[in-house]
């Protein structure tokens, strides 16, 4: 089971570090990362393994969203299936 | 790895364009709750609903969190109560109360199925149920009711139309303190469907399995945003854009339905391919029609644009899910759609135009506020007109009009939330009473000799 973590907002120092630390706290293994900075807008997409989470999915999603709020970023954590079903036949 | 553009598109659709799953509806058969003793029957009804749907809301919320997509409503539909209550030979209002208690116990916001199917005549239990609808809707909070008065196979039961004209009025009169809300929980159908997940017209047909999950999708805002990117496209391209975006919307419905069904251990029924608006800004079907190129919804061209929209939604959705059902099409409820409300207030959108629109889309005259002094026979005639469109065109049509008791043109009824608010719309004053009073059955239409 994998989830997609999307981080969108103004670029700043340490975004990747903080988000991956939070993932590690929940035992979510980061598998792939792509990121781009377009005119100061930071967009990062992480694919994380959620099959061995220490807690439940909701607490990971809530913690990441709260981390985003504290940094002025939008962080969405969603199961990868929603993207796969919508964009692949 | 997923494509960045795709990921961001999905997130934008949900965050900015109001993409949501409108409802997960659990259909529950109550056929095994029938008992001549009404108290025992009601207890069985309560127990079965609370047992089957115990985890519906919890699972719905879990899925919402995991996929990051809002699931606006979790609801329940049950076997038409007229069938369940027939053996009791008394007023079936206690069933409505049992349904209401069960809905509150499991946390669903509406429960449908306080219904009767009388397209060809009244059987035991039907008259008692229909007569009890005003009281049942006034003394409960979450119960919804529907009555099927016609079908392509059977024709239209004009006696039932007449009766329902009076019942709709009584529903409004009994709930006048709550903005006549009773009438907003009652739908009169022609060709009603057995697996409809949408309220207020949902019931669980007798041909359905014991329990199943149906899903209704939504997303007018997403369609409009997609069209905005093609200001100069010709109408064929417009249809293509709608198809593609509908595919994506419906795929999410399929995913949510399959996941819910697996977790609840209940078979997955259908996805209702619908564009269901809400009064929220950016979630309007009328605005899609305006984006296609109408100055305001309701003007000439609206029917053609809506026909294209409705058809393209189905074509896109069909391939996206395993089974399609319910009402499947674009909804045009006036009070629940910001663009429709504006068009009605401006006088561009009339009941006559809405009637024409219902011939090419799902479902019917929906959430329309009419003057408080509209006679029962006029409401019956509105029902008969709408049923005729459904009967002849082999489609579902429905009437959900709300007589605004004590109010006239220029005023409005406001329910807030998903039900929205609607201006009082004018109806014709001339009487159809003689026609309606004739009673009997309008024969089923001929569906051969098509040359």
How close does chain B come to A5, measured CA to CA in Å? 10
Verify that B140 and B233 share a domain, yes or no.
no
Give the structural domain span for A12: 2-87
Here the CATH number for the domain that contains residue B401 is 3.20.70.20
Each residue's pLDDT expressed in tens, for chain A with a length of 89 residues: 899 999 999 888 999 999 999 999 999 999 999 988 877 788 899 999 999 999 999 999 999 999 999 999 999 999 999 999 999 88
Verify that B433 and B288 share a domain, yes or no.
yes
With CB atoms and an 8 Å threshold, state whether B66 touches A78: yes
Verify that B318 and B416 share a domain, yes or no.
yes
Rounded Cα gap, residues B104 and B93, in angstroms: 17
Verify that B159 and B271 share a domain, yes or no.
no
Q: Are strands B21-28 and B274-275 parallel, antiparallel or unpaired?
A: unpaired
Verify that B255 and B138 share a domain, yes or no.
no
ipTM over 0.85: yes
Here the CATH number for the domain that contains residue A31 is 3.30.70.260
Q: Is residue B21 one of the residues assigned to a domain?
A: no
Rounded Cα gap, residues B367 and B144, in angstroms: 14
Verify that B314 and B434 share a domain, yes or no.
yes
What pTM does this model have? 0.92
Give the tens place of pLDDT for each residue, B324-362: 898 888 999 999 999 999 999 999 999 999 999 999 998
Verify that B221 and B149 share a domain, yes or no.
no
Q: Is B255 on the interface with A (CB under 8 A)?
A: yes
Number of domains chain B is built from = 2
Verify that B139 and B229 share a domain, yes or no.
no
Give the structural domain span for B347: 214-439
Q: Is residue B269 one of the residues assigned to a domain?
A: yes
pLDDT of residue B418: 85
> Which of B175, B190, B205 represents a domain boundary (last residue)?
B190
Q: Is B449 on the interface with A (CB under 8 A)?
A: no
Q: How far out from the chain centre does Cα B280 lie? A: 18
Verify that B164 and B251 share a domain, yes or no.
no
Of residues B109, B113, B107, the one with CA closest to residue B50: B107
Number of domains chain A is built from = 1
Tell the burial category of A51 from Cβ atoms under 10 Å away from its Cβ (0-12, 13-18, 19+).
Answer: exposed
Rounded Cα gap, residues B330 and B303, in angstroms: 12
Q: Is A38 on the interface with B (CB under 8 A)?
A: no
pLDDT band of residue B182 (cuts 50, 70, 90) is very high
Q: Is residue B288 one of the residues assigned to a domain?
A: yes
Q: Is residue B2 one of the residues assigned to a domain?
A: no
Rounded Cα gap, residues B69 and B260, in angstroms: 13
Verify that B174 and B322 share a domain, yes or no.
no
Q: Is residue B396 one of the residues assigned to a domain?
A: yes
Verify that B314 and B221 share a domain, yes or no.
yes
Q: Is residue B19 one of the residues assigned to a domain?
A: no
Q: Is residue B17 one of the residues assigned to a domain?
A: no
Verify that B312 and B175 share a domain, yes or no.
no
What are the backbone angles phi and psi of residue B288, rounded to the nearest 5°?
-65, -45
With CB atoms and an 8 Å threshold, state whether A58 touches B65: yes
């Amino acid at each position: 089971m994998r989830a997609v973590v999307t981080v969108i907002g103004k670029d700043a120092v340490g975004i990747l570090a903080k988000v991956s630390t939070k993932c590690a706290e929940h035992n979510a293994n980061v598998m792939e990362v792509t990121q781009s900075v377009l005119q100061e807008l930071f967009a990062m997409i992480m694919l994380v393994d959620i099959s061995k989470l220490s807690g439940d999915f909701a607490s990971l999603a809530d913690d990441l969203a709260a981390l985003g709020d504290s940094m002025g970023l939008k962080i969405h954590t969603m199961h990868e299936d929603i993207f796969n079903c919508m964009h692949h036949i | 790895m997923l494509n960045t553009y795709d990921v961001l598109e999905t997130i934008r659709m949900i965050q900015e364009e109001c993409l949501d799953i409108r409802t997960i509806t659990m259909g529950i058969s109550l056929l095994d709750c029938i008992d001549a003793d009404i108290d025992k029957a009601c207890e069985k009804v309560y127990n079965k609903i609370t047992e089957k749907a115990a985890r519906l809301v919890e699972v719905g919320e879990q899925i919402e969190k995991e996929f990051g997509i809002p699931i606006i409503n979790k609801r329940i539909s049950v076997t038409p109560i007229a069938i369940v209550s027939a053996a009791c030979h008394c007023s079936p209002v206690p069933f409505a109360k049992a349904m209401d208690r069960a809905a509150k116990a499991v946390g669903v916001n509406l429960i449908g199925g306080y219904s009767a199917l009388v397209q060809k005549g009244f059987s035991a239990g039907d008259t008692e149920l229909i007569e009890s609808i005003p009281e049942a809707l006034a003394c409960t909070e979450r119960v919804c009711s529907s009555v099927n008065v016609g079908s392509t196979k059977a024709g239209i039961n004009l006696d039932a139309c007449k009766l329902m004209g009076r019942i709709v009025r009584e529903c409004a009169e009994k709930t006048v303190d709550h903005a006549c809300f009773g009438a907003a929980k009652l739908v009169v159908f022609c060709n009603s469907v057995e697996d409809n997940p949408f309220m207020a017209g949902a019931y669980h047909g007798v041909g359905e399995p014991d329990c199943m999950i149906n899903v209704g999708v939504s997303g007018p805002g997403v369609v409009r945003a997609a069209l905005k990117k093609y200001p100069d496209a010709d109408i064929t391209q417009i249809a293509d854009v709608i198809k593609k975006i509908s595919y994506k919307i419906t795929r999410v419905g399929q995913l949510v339905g399959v996941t819910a069904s697996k977790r609840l251990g209940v078979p997955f029924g259908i996805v209702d391919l619908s564009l269901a608006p809400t009064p929220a800004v950016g979630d309007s079907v009328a605005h899609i029609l305006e984006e296609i190129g109408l100055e305001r919804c309701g003007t000439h061209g609206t029917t053609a644009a809506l026909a294209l929209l409705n058809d393209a939604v189905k074509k896109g959705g069909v391939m996206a899910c395993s089974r399609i059902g319910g009402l499947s099409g674009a909804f045009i409820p006036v009070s629940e759609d910001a663009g429709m409300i504006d068009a009605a207030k401006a006088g561009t959108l009339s009941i006559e135009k809405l009637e024409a629109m219902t011939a090419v889309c799902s479902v019917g005259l929906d959430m329309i506020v009419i003057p408080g002094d509209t006679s029962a026979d006029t409401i019956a005639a509105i029902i008969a007109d709408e049923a005729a469109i459904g009967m002849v065109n082999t489609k579902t049509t429905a009437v959900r009009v709300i007589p605004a008791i004590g109010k006239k043109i220029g005023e409005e009824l406001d329910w807030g939330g998903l039900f929205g608010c609607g201006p009082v719309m004018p109806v014709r004053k001339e009487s159809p009473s003689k026609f309606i009073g004739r009673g009997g059955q309008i024969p089923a239409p001929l569906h051969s000799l098509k040359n």
